Amino acid sequence: MGLLYVRTLPGALKCVQLLFNLIAFICIAATGVSPRGDAFLVASVGAFVITLLLLLIRIMDLDTKINLPWMKIEFGYCVIWSIFYLITAALVIDTNVDGYIAGGVFGLLAMILYIIDAIDKFRTGL
């Protein structure tokens, strides 16, 4: 499939997830350090790195060469990261600091995309 993967729904979702993860990270990192912000940074950077790896695996067709249940792995990842984003975004939005609120909103948007991705993977059959 290669680069054509980014034209599919799962590929497009991953690309937008990467963008929202990056924007959320930048908003929080530019605002300052706090325990809540640090927790959110772990969630956003972790999401960015893992989503990028999953995207590269699909683009390079490694999912067909490495015999693993990729749909189940990605489904679990999407569910877990949705929960991480829900918790950490709520924590940073509660601070009433503009940069944290902006980062939290992008975190919630990323969470919605991860939920949509999980639903798509569930519908297509794990």
**38-61 confidence digits (pLDDT tens):** 999 999 999 999 999 999 999 999
Q: Residue 124 has which token pair?
A: 């297509």
Q: Residue 40 has which token pair?
A: 């959110």
**6-29 confidence digits (pLDDT tens):** 999 999 999 999 999 999 999 999
Q: Residue 71 has which token pair?
A: 């749909």
pLDDT exceeds cutoff 90 at 1: no
Q: What spatial distance separates the first Cα and last Cα of the chain, rounded to whole Å?
A: 19
pLDDT exceeds cutoff 90 at 62: yes
Its pTM surpasses 0.95: no
HSE value, Cβ hemisphere, 13 Å, CA-based, for 73 = 12
Please give the Cα distance from 18 to 35 (Å, whole number). 23
**73-119 confidence digits (pLDDT tens):** 999 999 999 999 999 999 999 999 999 999 999 999 999 999 999 99
Domain extents in the chain? 2-124
- Residue 2's pLDDT is what? 82
pLDDT exceeds cutoff 90 at 126: no
Distance of CA 49 to the CA centre of its chain: 9
